[in-house]
Chains A and B, each alone.
Chain A
Amino acid sequence: MRWFSRLYGSNPLHLLVTIACFAIAGYAANKLAAGGDVKGILIWLVGAVVGHDLILFPLYALADRSIMTVFRRRPPTLPAVPWINYLRVPVVFSAILLLIWFPLIFRLPTTFQADHTTLPTNVYMGRWLAVTGALFLLSALAFAVRLAVGGGRRSPDRGPALVRSDRYERPGQYERPGQYEDMASGLGLTGGAPTADPRERLPRVERPQ
């Protein structure tokens, strides 16, 4: 058995499952290709992965980091209560709705009303904007409540509720020795003895060779 694992990188069951699943997927892919437009389908399938992993993800990750950086570098007094999620949530909710309904929002399906539903497509842009507006309003309200409540509960050693939010810029906050023990205990887990490479303390799990 060892020779197999060494050669293949996992146990024989892995190979069996792989073959069975590839057989199903391949059988269906063959039917899909029989439709004739193999290029179109491949563009869609690979485009889906590339579109998400290499375009959508970098864009939203970059936007998230940029917004945090911009607000951190600029001097206005920012509340000490974490504010980023009051921005993230309405933005992401609205973006997901746009991602799903962009054809109707931008009135792209030209036969929607006459051939299909009798319903106009010109309402969806307004509806999406209204929902977006409501989301931001609710978020602002929630933030206001949080500020009021947080302000009342602040402890004297933390200073006023409204301060420049630079506390996350303290270097090395998470890099001191023994950090992983703290983290583990914070999660109700116990860590092993600290070593130079924290990953060494984990139970040895072989990566596929």
Chain B
Amino acid sequence: MRPKSRTDGPLPGPFRESFWRSPIRGPWLTSVFGLVLLIGIPIMFATGLFSYAAYNPNLAAVNDETPNKGLLGFYLFSWPTHPIWLYRLNQGTHVTLGLMLVPIVLFKLWSVLPKLFEWPPLHSLAHLLERISLVAVVGGIIFELATGILNIQTYYKFPQGGNFYTLHFYGAWVFIGGFVMHVALKFPAMVRALSGHSMIDVLRTNLAKTRPEPLDPGGLVALQPDPPTISRRGMLAFAGGASALVGLLVVGQSVGGVLRKTALLAPHGQEMTGVNGASPDFQVNMTAEGAGVTAADAHASAWTLTLNTEVITGTGMPPEGTDTVNKVATLTRADLLKLEQHTVSLPIACVEGWSTENQTWTGVRLADLAKMAGVPEPSSMLTRSLQKGGAFSRAVMSQAQTTDPNSLLALRVNGADLTLDHGYPARVIVPDAPGVHNTKWVSSLTFRR
């Protein structure tokens, strides 16, 4: 016997089961949305973890936006430089898929909303714990989507002084704790509901033939359903269509080329006009103005590149009492242009999901500069920028990244000198490094032994 209070409870409105009237709500529909999320969310989580690894946070403190990660960094590995589209694909997937899951999450929440008003609200200790975990699941997914969505629009109205990385990374782990529990508890019910009747039958059932699911013990199916106004296949098309529309209007900012014009609602869906002729130019996400770099700072007559070496002990800290940084050379832009020039074809890919197609970069190999500094196999390389402050005015590259033949200190791009917004006089370009690690307006390179 189902508890009497569910229909005749003391509270009115949504706390009464008879309040909920949708004839298509039920375990089957919820399970379909659940299955989509069960596939999508692990992809989001994995690409998010990879994205953190791409910063090589264990290499140096300046690379780590969440230095208190503790055990949550257990999986970190040295980020590769091949294939060159790896980071671009990872971030394009993370952001595009995340946006496409927004409608699915909303439809899934709609499908289970009667459960929020379940009465009595608690049956047992186990039930209490489940409901607490749902705060992590529902609050967590909305929190993750909201922080991500605001961040890609450079709208940093976050708590905690707007530190996106801290919120999104730790928030993801809070969410995933609740998510794993939710999946563990609901997976059998999902399989049961999905095997209850076939997708093909549902796709063949029109509105006139749409009937409620048999009453379920969980209380999703309405006791007194209204006549249907949409079929189940219609509801699936509704959710899928919304997801597809969001994806269609955004994916072009990651794919690039002519598809960028289809990214009507995406932060990098507009073509950029080049300052000196290149039109369309490729996208930037930090202008010289934003970085506090003026044309005078970066003028070829004022600018020099300093090459340093530094001894790092096994613990990653300089030996005590030694002046560890040793300046070995100062080069002007003209000096750099006299060195052997290499041309590579690499994309710029941003943590925010947008990316460029491959651009043709010309400059000096980082490996050649390391040799020139007398450290042909540096354990890592610290890049400093003219940029005033900011989290990414410094970045550290691994040995693999520094010695990769595709890694350049670029002086020119697409056959012209770099523009100021692209990092003139010189910028780092390393395959598969996050955009912010391809430091612009480079002022010094320090090769570490």
Q: Other CB < 8 Å A-B pairs besides A103-B155, A111-B154, A199-B215, 12 of them?
A: A32-B171, A32-B174, A36-B160, A48-B142, A52-B138, A84-B229, A115-B290, A116-B286, A119-B268, A197-B1, A202-B214, A209-B124
In the bound complex, do residue B159 and residue A43 qualify as a contact, i.e. CB atoms below 8 Å apart? yes
A116 CB contact (under 8 Å) in B123, B140, B173, B287: B287
Supposing A18-B133, A173-B227, A199-B2 touch, asked if A119 and B210 sit within 8 A by C-beta, the answer is: no
Asked if A1 is at the interface (CB within 8 A of a chain B CB), the reply is no
- Whether A197 and B2, one on each chain, are in contact in the complex, defined by CB atoms closer than 8 angstroms, is yes
Residues in chain B near residue A18, CB distance under 8 A: 126, 129-130, 133, 181
In contact, A186 and B210 (Cβ under 8 angstroms): yes
Give B108-154 interface residues, CB cut-off 8 Å to A: 109-110, 113, 116, 123-127, 129-130, 132-133, 135-136, 138-140, 142-143, 146, 149-150, 153-154
**A40 an interface residue at 8 Å Cβ cutoff?**
yes
Contact B215 A127 (CB under 8 A): no
Enumerate chain A interface residues (CB-CB to B < 8 A): 7-10, 14-15, 17-18, 20-29, 31-32, 34-37, 39-41, 43-46, 48-49, 51-53, 57, 68, 82, 84-85, 88-89, 92-93, 96-97, 99-101, 103-104, 108-109, 111-112, 114-120, 123-124, 127-128, 130-131, 168, 173-175, 180, 182-184, 186-189, 191, 197-202, 205, 207-209
Kindly state whether residue B194 has any CB partner on chain A within 8 Å: no
**CB within 8 Å for A28 and B126 given contacts A45-B140, A115-B287, A197-B2:** no
Closest 10 CB pairs of A and B: A9-B124, A40-B159, A25-B177, A115-B290, A28-B173, A48-B142, A9-B126, A21-B181, A183-B211, A186-B211
**CB distance A40 to B160 under 8 Å?**
yes
Say which residue of A15, A52, A197 sits within 8 Å of B142 (CB atoms). Answer: A52
Cβ of B190 within 8 Å of any chain A Cβ, yes or no, is no
- Chain A contacts for B238, CB-based, 8 A: 85, 88-89, 92
Q: Which of A24, A103, A188 contacts B173 (CB 8 A)?
A: A24
B331 in the interface, Cβ–Cβ < 8 Å?
Answer: no
- Least CB distance from B190 to A in Å reads 15
A175 / chain B contacts, CB cutoff of 8 Å: 224
CB neighbors of A among B239-293 (8 A): 241-242, 245-246, 249, 264-265, 267-268, 270, 272, 283-287, 289-290
When C-beta atoms are compared, the residue in chain B nearest to A175 turns out to be B224
**Is there contact, CB below 8 Å, between B211 and A15?**
no
Say whether B421 contacts A8, CB under 8 Å: no
Closest A residue to B263 by beta carbon equals A127
Is A85's CB under 8 angstroms from B230's CB? yes
B102 within 8 A of A: yes
Cα–Cα distance between A44 and B99 once the two chains are bound (Å): 19
With known contacts A18-B129, A207-B217, A29–B142 Cβ distance under 8 A: no
Q: How distant is the Cα of A199 from the Cα of B442 in the complex, in angstroms?
A: 71
Residues of A contacting B36 with CB < 8 Å? none
Tell me if B161 counts as interface (CB < 8 A to partner A). yes
When each residue 155-181 of chain B gets 1 if its CB lies under 8 Å from chain A and 0 otherwise, what string results? 100111101001100111111111011
Q: Does A68 contact B229, Cβ atoms closer than 8 Å?
A: yes
Task: Give Cα distance in the complex from A174 to B242, angstroms.
Answer: 31
B39 to chain A, nearest CB (A): 20
Asked whether B229 lies within 8 Å of A183 as measured between CB atoms, the reply is no
How many residues of B are counted as interface, with CB atoms below 8 angstroms from the partner's CB atoms? 102
CA distance A48 to B150 in the complex (A): 14
Contact: A128 with B215, CB < 8 Å? no
Closest CB in chain B relative to A2 CB, distance in Å:
14
Contact of B166 among A32, A68, A97, A197 (CB under 8 A): A32
Comparing B65-73, B376-384, B410-418, the segment that makes contact with chain A is B65-73
Verify if B340 is at the interface (C-beta below 8 Å from A): no
- Are A9 and B127 neighbours in the complex by a CB distance under 8 Å? yes
Cross-chain contact A48 with B143 (CB below 8 angstroms): yes
Q: Which of B71, B160, B225 has the most CB of A within 10 A?
A: B160
Please report the C-alpha to C-alpha distance between residue A3 and residue B287 in the assembled complex, in whole angstroms.
66
Residue in B closest to A182 when the chains form the complex, CB atoms: B211
Q: Is the CB of A31 within 8 A of B68?
A: yes
Which DSSP category, helix, strand, loop or mixed, fits chain A's interface? helix
CA distance A82 to B226 in the complex (A): 14
- Do B287 and A118 touch across chains, with their CB atoms under 8 A apart? yes
> If A57-B110, A191-B214, A208-B123 touch, does A22 touch B155 (CB 8 Å cutoff)?
no
- Could you show 5 A-B contacts with beta carbons less than 8 Å apart? A25-B174, A28-B172, A82-B229, A115-B286, A189-B197
Name B272's closest neighbour in chain A (CB-CB).
Answer: A118
Q: In the complex, are the beta carbons of A57 and B283 less than 8 A apart?
A: no
Q: B residues within 8 A CB of A116?
A: 154, 284-287, 290
Distance (whole angstroms) from the CB of A42 to the closest CB of chain B: 9
Closest to B228 in A: A82
Whether B177 contacts A96 by the Cβ 8 Å rule is no
**Chain B positions 55 through 69: 1 when the CB is less than 8 Å from some CB of chain A, otherwise 0:** 000000000001011
Collect the chain B residues with CB atoms within 8 Å of residue A32's CB. 166-167, 170-171, 174
Q: Say which residue of A24, A45, A103, A209 sits within 8 Å of B150 (CB atoms).
A: A103
In the bound complex, residues from chain B placing their C-beta under 8 Å from that of A205 are: 217
Write out the residue numbers on chain B whose beta carbons fall within 8 Å of the beta carbon of A112. Answer: 153-154, 267
Output the nearest chain B residue to A58 by Cβ-Cβ distance: B14
* Chain A residues, Cβ within 8 Å of B2: 197, 199
CA distance A104 to B267 in the complex (A): 8
Using Cβ atoms and an 8 Å threshold, which residues of chain A touch B113? 53, 57
